[in-house]
Amino acid sequence: MAFDPTVPRPGTPPRSAELRDNFTALNDRDNALAAQIAAIPAGPPGAAGSDGVDGSPGADGAPGQAGPAGNDGRSVTNVRDNGDGRAVVEMSDGSSYGPFTIASGPAGPQGGNGADSTVPGPQGQAGNDGRSVVNVRDNGDGRAIVDMSDGMNYGPFYVASGPAGPGGGQGLQGNDGVSVVEVYDSGDGRAIVRLSNGQTFGPFTVANGPAGGQGERGEKGDTGDVGPQGQPGEVSNQQLSDAIADTPHNPSSIGPFTGTFSDPPTQAEMQAFAAWSESLRQALIR
């Protein structure tokens, strides 16, 4: 069947068999035309055309991989005496050359003094810490041991006694120490400590620690002088009990505060003072 370009016809419904036959005929016609074109013999090649205009340079390519590392060079690391006046040259690869006898030429003339540099040299590295004596102690047999700052010690030595040296001069007056001059209530039940240098610390909440143990009884004091005869009066048992109830206990069992204070005081020092204050308060409560 030949190819019919009028299929499908206007106003008629398409039929699959008719369309399939028409497509097959079209394919057969195309194959026949391709075979005819292929059978046409090729003509001779034409003359070469003129060169085209050079294009712009392309972008640089990516860098190539790094080549292998070269062998390490050799250098002189030391020139040492062979022990017989000759020199041995040591290289960085472990090899050595020599010994050589180094000829000594005549001494050259003394050079003149160079001009002073106006540029300071680089700061040198800090030197190693020196060693010093930190203590000289008795070995227990009358000999001395010297302790050094690096932990080493020397001795024991017998210390020879030389003649007494002259007396030293009067030393400088030391700074006044700092002590507690007052502990007062801040108004809310907490304590404020005032020192002798004018500083104050607090307010602190004074913890009520456990009561201290009973101290040893003090020695009996001397009998005082007899006072003048008072006017006789009458005191009832109730009045005597009421008067005694308002008086504090004798706090003689509480000794003076023996602690010290740094400037400023540490927490441990303030806690020690707070404990002493609480023991005094407990001793005064009736």
pLDDT band of 266, cuts 50, 70, 90: very high
Per-residue model confidence as pLDDT tens digits over 79-128: 889 998 888 889 888 899 888 887 666 777 887 787 777 778 788 787 77
What is the predicted pLDDT for the residue at 165?
Answer: 64
Full domain range(s) for residue 201: 180-211+240-284
pTM listed for this prediction: 0.19
Residue 205, in any domain of the structure = yes
> Is residue 87 in a domain?
no
Instruction: Please tell me the total count of domains within the chain.
Output: 1
Residue 91 makes CB contacts below 8 A (sequence gap 6+) with: 74, 75, 76, 77, 97
Domain membership of residue 78 (yes or no) is: no
On whether residue 277 sits in a domain, the answer given is yes
Position 251 scores a pLDDT of: 72
Residue 188 lies in a domain: yes
Determine how β-strand 200-204 pairs with β-strand 153-157: unpaired
Cis peptide bond upstream of 10, omega within 30: no
In a domain, 251, yes or no: yes
Cα separation, 257 vs 212, in Å, equals 14
What is the structure's pLDDT at 243? 64
In a domain, 262, yes or no: yes
How many percent of the chain have pLDDT more than 70?
88
Residue 121 located in a structural domain: no
